């Protein structure tokens, strides 16, 4: 149903810019960062995560393509690395374009990544999700993911 194709440089840069903007907005809405500093904080966070941009070791930045039509329907970022004597397979990001949602594309991507993780010797596959992302939580729960860690926060002032 889908193919994962490595992004080119410009495509990765556009994907990263969108991620920086999304993170900026989310962190302001959650009241974590101030509107004036959030953009810089977000840029810095991604620069630390991807010191070599699209060439950062262990990461793959892919577009998701519908195999039948060749149409780009989304993107995913994931990493594979051996640490502590075991293969660590992490899905850092998955995005399906709004008109293409609820058609099973994210499920197909995660199933393909699960096969790759298994082939590469991983015993498990991890991902990150915010607790207010109900769509993604529904997807991951349906696919058999369980919560392994939780961050907790208590609001001390109302959100802006």
Ligand X SMILES: CC(C)(COP(=O)(O)OP(=O)(O)OC[C@H]1O[C@@H](n2cnc3c(N)ncnc32)[C@H](O)[C@@H]1OP(=O)(O)O)[C@@H](O)C(=O)NCCC(=O)NCCS
- Contact residues for ligand X (CB under 6 A)? 94-96, 101-107, 129, 133, 135-136, 138-139, 142
Closest CB 145 distance from ligand X, rounded Å: 11
- CB-nearer residue toward ligand X: 21 or 139: 139
- CB-nearer residue toward ligand X: 33 or 105: 105
Closest CB 147 distance from ligand X, rounded Å: 13
Closest CB 157 distance from ligand X, rounded Å: 26
What is the 3-state secondary structure of the chain? CEEEEECCHHHHHHHHHHHHHHHHHHHHHCCCCCCCCHHHHHHHHHHHHCCCHHHCCCEEEEEEEECCCCCEEEEEEEEEEEECCEEEEEEEEEEECHHHCCCCHHHHHHHHHHHHHHHCCCCCEEECCCCCCHHHHHHHHHCCCCCCCCCCCCCCCCCC
- CB-nearer residue toward ligand X: 16 or 96: 96
């Amino acid at each position: 149903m889908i193919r994962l194709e490595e992004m080119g440089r410009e495509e990765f840069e556009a994907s990263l810019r969108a991620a920086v903007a999304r993170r900026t907005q989310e962190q302001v809405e959650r009241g974590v960062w101030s509107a004036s500093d959030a953009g810089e904080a977000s840029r810095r966070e991604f620069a630390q995560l991807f010191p070599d941009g699209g060439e950062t070791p262990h990461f793959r930045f892919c577009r998701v393509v519908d195999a039948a039509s060749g149409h780009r329907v989304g993107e995913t970022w994931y990493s594979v690395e051996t640490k502590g004597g075991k293969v660590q397979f992490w899905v850092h990001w998955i995005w399906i374009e709004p008109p293409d949602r609820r058609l099973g594309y994210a499920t197909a991507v995660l199933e393909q990544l699960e096969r790759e993780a298994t082939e590469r010797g991983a015993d498990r596959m991890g991902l990150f999700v915010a607790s207010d992302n109900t769509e993604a939580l529904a997807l991951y729960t349906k696919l058999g993911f369980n919560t392994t860690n939780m961050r907790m926060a208590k609001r001390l002032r109302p959100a802006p």
